[in-house]
């Protein structure tokens, strides 16, 4: 796979190539024969605006647990394969 990025405004090009014969002599000459085997496509960045600080904070926000007391109550409980609810008790 060849990944090419030339400049800030040029598209990013991705090409899938294969080489059957690779030898040290060909590698030194930069004459390795490539054959295109897969899809090739180019990508272009269309949006380069950065979000406002408020919108960025909202997008990165992790939701809090709705009821922290309930979370503490269910902390050491688990359900086994038969559907029975078990709990660990620490003394």
Reported as half-sphere exposure (CB side, CA atoms, 13 A), residue 24 has a value of 0
pLDDT, tens digit (0-9, with 9 covering 90-100), for 26-37: 777 777 888 888
Domain boundaries, the chain: 2-65
For the chain, the average pLDDT equals 81
pLDDT, tens digit (0-9, with 9 covering 90-100), for 51-65: 899 999 988 887 776
Kindly indicate the confidence band of residue 66, based on its pLDDT and cuts at 50, 70 and 90. low
Quote the pLDDT of residue 65.
64
**C-alpha distance from residue 40 to each of 16, 19, 34 (Å):** 6, 16, 14
Quote the pLDDT of residue 67.
65
The stretch 9-24 carries a mean pLDDT of 83
pTM of the model: 0.41
């Amino acid at each position: 796979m060849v990944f090419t990025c030339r400049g800030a405004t040029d598209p990013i090009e991705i090409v899938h190539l294969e080489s059957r014969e690779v030898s040290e002599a060909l590698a030194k000459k930069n004459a390795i024969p490539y054959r295109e085997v897969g899809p090739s496509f180019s990508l272009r960045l269309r949006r380069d605006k950065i979000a406002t600080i408020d919108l960025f904070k909202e997008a990165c926000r992790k939701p809090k647990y709705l009821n922290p007391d309930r979370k503490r109550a269910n902390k050491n409980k688990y359900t086994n394969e038969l559907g029975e609810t078990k709990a660990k008790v620490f003394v």
